[in-house]
Amino acid sequence: MKSIRRSTVMVVTVGALALGLSLPTGTANASAGYKTFTWKHGSTAGDCTMYSGGAGWTAPTWTLYPDGTAWFDATLTSMSGDDAWLMWAHLKDENGALLADIRIPGSTSTKFVKNLPLAWPRKYRWLAEGRFDPSLYPLIKGMSLSKHC
**Domains annotated on the chain, with CATH:** 14-148 (2.60.40)
Whole-prediction pTM value?
A: 0.80
Check residues 13 and 116 and name the one with the higher pLDDT.
116
**What is the distance of C-alpha 5 from the center of its chain?**
17
- Strands of 30-94, DSSP E: 34-39, 43-45, 48-50, 61-64, 69-78, 83-92
What is the average pLDDT value for the chain, to the nearest integer?
83
Of 113, 68, 73, give the one whose Cα is nearest residue 91. Answer: 68
- Helix-then-strand count for the chain, H and E: 1, 11
Mean pLDDT of the 86-92 span:
98
